[in-house]
Structure 1
Amino acid sequence: MDSIHSMMMWTMKVVGLALVAIPLSVELLGWFLHHRRTKKPLSEVLFFPSELACLEHIFTPSLLCSCYCPLPHGVETSFSRLLRHLLSASSSLDVCVFAFSNMDLSRAVVALHKRGVTIRVLTDNDYSAILGSQVGILRKAGICVRCDADSGYMHHKFAVVDSQLLITGSLNWTITAVQGNMENVVITQDPDLVRPFIKEFHRLWLLNDPDRKRSNKQKPAHVTAGAHD
């Protein structure tokens, strides 16, 4: 009888605990689902000029303790944050920037290309051949670069990572902008902001397709004129 009584008491305790645990689990599940639905997209603002610091640990994490350059190590700066966001790309990176001469940014883009990330770079034609331009380096690495040769400057300064993360602001991809100028960069995953930039990049990319430009040049004058009637 004692064993039966003990078994009944144990069963009642288990049932009691289950009655308490089930609603608690439902409540926790509801909180989790609500938290996922209401989670805000990434939003960050970076200001420049950026503090000078060693960047080797970003490109090669194992070098954090073995790099002996004189710059501060393990310091998080605006520039290191920018590089981390760029290097987070896993499938694609579209870069649309007026001037591109910063070697560390070029190094990050080439590193992504070597990982198999699809890279497209669009820059202004007048500034693609200036001293220190990285356009030649990128093309040599096998990255597709198109130059806008319109009469006005292609003055955009933005990048889109994996079609989900927008990086935009006043910052040209130059050493002067990163280390000397007062600049700003906004980083966001807000789809309402990301989508228009994807659309603008696509428009400019098609507009500056070399085959399309070549085709337009080869059209007879009367055909070109008729297209504007």
Structure 2
Amino acid sequence: MLRPKILILALALSIVLFTSATFASIDVYFSRVNDPEGTIIEELDKARKTIDVAMYCFTDRDLANAVIDAHDRGVRVRIYLDKDQKEVKYSKSRYLTKHGIPIRYSSNPYIMHHKFCVIDNKVVVTGR
């Protein structure tokens, strides 16, 4: 009777100790101190399989170029933007589309105000 309990305890302990969440880390970057844009570009440059972006607006050309570079390397890129970004003057949506990156636009009547990116289902970049 003791043996099954030890086996169950060992299994539960190994699940807790060896899950990926156990080894996860959180890094925080602030705009005027830590160059978050450079860090985001580094992460985009490391992408191997997927980049999924949901943003209210996408206006930064350096970030757009990093996404295009990843797409050109064969990384699957999916971008979801607020519906108004089709027409906004400084939006990079047309630039990204011109480089073959598919963009979906929110059909919701309200502002889609997300600001996050998931890279290879391992790295999450988010903003305020």
Is it true that 1:114 corresponds to 2:65 in the alignment?
A: no
How many residues align? The count is 112
How far apart are the structure 2 equivalents of 1:144 and 1:116? 14
Could you tell me the percent identity over the aligned residues? 29
How far apart are the structure 2 equivalents of 1:125 and 1:93? 20
Corresponding residue number in structure 2 for 1:103? 61
Corresponding residue number in structure 2 for 1:181? none
* TM-superposition CA deviations, 1:75-113 (whole Å, max 9, x none): x73221121112211000000000101000100000000
- Supply the AA of the counterpart residue of 1:95: V
How far apart are the structure 1 equivalents of 2:56 and 2:40? 17
Q: Which has the higher contact order (CA 8 A, sep 6+)?
A: 2
Corresponding residue number in structure 2 for 1:136? 94
Q: Bigger shift: 150-159 or 121-130?
A: 121-130
Distance 1:128 1:40, change over 3 A: same
Corresponding residue number in structure 2 for 1:147? 105
- Could you tell me whether the CA contact under 8 Å between 2:85 and 2:93 is conserved in 1? no
Corresponding residue number in structure 2 for 1:40? 23
- Could you tell me whether the CA contact under 8 Å between 1:126 and 1:149 is conserved in 2? no
Query: Which of structures 1 and 2 has the bigger CA Rg?
Result: 1
Instruction: Specify which structure has the higher proportion of helix.
Output: 1
- Could you tell me whether the CA contact under 8 Å between 1:125 and 1:148 is conserved in 2? yes
Show the 5 A alignment for 1:1-229: 40-49=23-32, 77-170=35-128
Q: Which sections of structure 2, spanning at least 5 residues, go unmatched?
A: 1-16
TM-score, reference length from structure 1: 0.45
Q: Which sections of structure 1, spanning at least 5 residues, go unmatched?
A: 1-33, 51-75, 171-229
Instruction: Give the root-mean-square deviation of aligned CA atoms.
Output: 2.2
Question: How far off its partner does 1:153 sit?
Answer: 0.6
TM-score, reference length from structure 2: 0.78
How far apart are the structure 2 equivalents of 1:38 and 1:149? 34
How far apart are the structure 2 equivalents of 1:137 and 1:37? 36
- Could you tell me whether the CA contact under 8 Å between 1:110 and 1:138 is conserved in 2? yes
How far apart are the structure 1 equivalents of 2:111 and 2:125? 20
Question: How far off its partner does 1:42 sit?
Answer: 2.5
Q: Bigger shift: 116-125 or 144-153?
A: 144-153
* TM-superposition CA deviations, 1:36-76 (whole Å, max 9, x none): 989631310111146xxxxxxxxxxxxxxxxxxxxxxxxx7
How far apart are the structure 1 equivalents of 2:92 and 2:114? 17
- Supply the AA of the counterpart residue of 1:44: D
